[in-house]
């Protein structure tokens, strides 16, 4: 069964990357292996749940599966950020009637049913009359009507009724929080993540570009062996307002639609998703679309038609990756969820249109050298004209593979590198299947020989297959790159 899953995954070479969140439903080595065989490219470790000891064991299992299957697998550590939650409510829950008055007070416990506490003590100092406070994933809304920080309370009136429970999330849309973007817990989690050589670090509740810079400076101050890529999670309206500045400094982006749909009007979320993805595509920034993509499959065998359409539309929007959360962390059948996600993505990719490079909008720091840029464009055009079976790229930093990915060509790309950390980073690049192999540092002939053997072994290449090979400057000198067309004998 594993072999069948492996063959299907390699033959199809699905271009949209799949990110899967780990949890109790997916922690066993057997399930992890099946998830990779079905198409998971990156595993997400949610630092809001689980101890470092449990996460360390997960990392060990994933790397063991990766080595056994000879497939690079990326690891994304997701920092919790300044997530605000309600404290303990009197009786555990209460109903908020429209027009009713409640108070937020300092502390961690409330005695009166009309008094609320939360994990973010500065809330009382940060909010002003007229500000909104959203509870229970935005299903309950209150408006601040009065405050007395000295006395330690803020009075609110319910404008959208509903039930709230202890420890539920609190959102303060449009409120400038005084808390830093990286909390003490985040720093502790980050130190662990760097010790484990994770490939990506997700920063939650990004508000401005400075949040990304501060995290990057903190990472550098900890002197990691490998510097992970920072993923800016866009889930606050302040981040939308500062989007271009955030994109100028981040390495990757996640459209985190859960909190974004609470912070902004939920009707705006599809438009914001398209805006963010389009801007990321223009700037050559890998982008992940996340939250509730196949949510009903946590308990059902099949997704809804709306969920299938949602995943397909994200692919058509230009997302590099789609992410599963509760579906693979606590769902009843995580492997089936990944299998379905891959199937939807494969169908939608047929309609993905090639992108024309826009010189004026691309940042130089994200581009390859001009000669390499020209060669990659020629390679995509040649592959399309010749109806090639594969584009093979040898890369040291992954930048050439990213340049190829950016063009959204029809022909699958296999990227060979001799650097383990680069192979795992490329797991987030659309259309790119990374492979770790030392022969890329030797010669075109040695790589081509390896590629043909690999392609035959996995049912991708046969006699008569056409391969476009893109080589790096190390073969020919710093001012040269190579594009070769090869017909498999």
Catalytic residues: 44, 85, 233, 291
Helix axes 2-12, 334-349, angle to 10 degrees: 20
> Which strands form 432-436's sheet, in the order they lie side by side?
432-436, 413-417, 390-394, 466-471, 482-487
- Report, in this order, helix, strand and coil percent for the chain, each rounded to 5: 40, 20, 35
Residues 6+ apart with CB under 8 A from 210: none
Q: Is 135 helix (H, G, I), strand (E, B) or coil?
A: strand
What is the spatial distance between Cα 455 and Cα 239, in angstroms, rounded to a whole number? Answer: 43
How would you classify the pairing of strands 200-203 and 169-171? unpaired
> Contact at 8 Å (CB) between 205 and 172?
no
Ramachandran angles phi, psi of 256, nearest 5°: -90, 90
> Contact at 8 Å (CB) between 368 and 321?
no
What is the spatial distance between Cα 160 and Cα 186, in angstroms, rounded to a whole number? Answer: 33
Of the chain, the end-to-end C-alpha distance in Å amounts to: 31
What is the spatial distance between Cα 393 and Cα 201, in angstroms, rounded to a whole number? Answer: 26
Tell me how many degrees the CA angle 455-456-462 measures, rounded to the nearest 5. Answer: 100
DSSP state of 175: -
What is the spatial distance between Cα 164 and Cα 97, in angstroms, rounded to a whole number? Answer: 11
Nearest-10 Cα torsion for 123, 269, 200, 350? 170
Q: How many CA atoms lie within 13 A of 105 on its CB side?
A: 15
> Contact at 8 Å (CB) between 401 and 415?
yes
The owner of tokens 């969140």 is 21
The owner of tokens 């063959």 is 7
The owner of tokens 């058509």 is 316
What is the spatial distance between Cα 413 and Cα 431, in angstroms, rounded to a whole number? Answer: 6
């Amino acid at each position: 069964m594993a072999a069948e899953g492996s063959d299907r995954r390699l033959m199809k070479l699905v271009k949209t990357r799949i990110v899967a969140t780990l949890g109790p439903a997916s922690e066993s080595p057997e399930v992890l292996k099946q998830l990779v065989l079905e198409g998971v490219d990156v595993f997400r470790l949610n630092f809001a749940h689980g101890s470092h000891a449990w996460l360390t064991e997960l990392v060990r299992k994933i790397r063991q599966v990766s080595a056994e299957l000879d497939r690079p697998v990326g690891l994304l550590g997701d920092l919790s950020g300044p997530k605000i939650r309600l404290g303990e409510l009197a009786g555990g829950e209460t109903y908020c009637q429209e027009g009713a008055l409640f108070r937020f007070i300092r502390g961690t416990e409330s005695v009166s049913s009309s008094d609320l506490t939360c994990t973010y003590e500065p809330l009382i100092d940060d909010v002003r009359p007229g500000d909104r406070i959203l509870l229970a994933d935005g299903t309950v809304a209150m408006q601040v009507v009065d405050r007395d920080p000295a006395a330690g309370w803020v009075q609110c009136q319910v404008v959208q009724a509903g039930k709230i429970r202890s420890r539920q999330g609190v959102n303060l849309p449009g409120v400038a929080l005084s808390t830093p973007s990286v909390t003490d817990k985040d720093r502790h989690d980050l130190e662990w993540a760097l010790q484990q050589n994770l490939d990506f670090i997700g920063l939650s509740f990004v508000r401005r570009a400075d949040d990304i810079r501060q995290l990057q400076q903190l990472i550098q101050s900890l002197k990691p062996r490998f510097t992970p890529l920072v993923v800016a999670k866009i889930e606050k309206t302040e981040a939308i307002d500062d989007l271009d500045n955030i994109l100028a400094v981040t390495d990757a982006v996640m459209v985190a639609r859960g909190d974004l749909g609470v912070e902004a009007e939920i009707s705006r979320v599809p438009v914001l998703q398209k805006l963010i993805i389009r801007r990321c595509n223009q700037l050559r920034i890998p982008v992940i679309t996340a939250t509730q993509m196949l949510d009903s499959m946590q308990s059902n065998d099949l997704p809804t038609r709306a969920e299938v359409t949602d995943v397909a539309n994200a692919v058509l929007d230009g997302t590099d990756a789609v992410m599963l959360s509760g579906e693979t962390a606590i769902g009843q059948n995580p492997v089936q969820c990944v299998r379905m996600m891959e199937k939807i993505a494969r169908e939608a990719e047929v309609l993905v249109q090639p992108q024309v490079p826009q010189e004026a909008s691309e940042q130089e720091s994200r581009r390859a050298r001009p000669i390499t840029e020209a060669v990659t464009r020629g390679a995509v055009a040649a592959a399309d004209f010749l109806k090639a079976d594969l584009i093979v790229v040898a890369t040291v930093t992954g930048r050439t593979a990213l340049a190829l990915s950016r063009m959204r060509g029809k022909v699958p790309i296999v990227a060979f590198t001799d650097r383990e950390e680069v192979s795992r980073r490329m797991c987030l690049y659309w259309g790119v299947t990374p492979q770790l192999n030392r022969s890329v540092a030797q010669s075109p002939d040695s790589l081509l020989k390896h590629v043909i053997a690999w392609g035959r072994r996995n049912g991708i290449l046969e006699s008569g297959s056409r391969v476009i090979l893109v080589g790096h400057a190390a073969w020919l000198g710093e001012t040269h790159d190579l594009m070769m067309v090869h017909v498999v004998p």
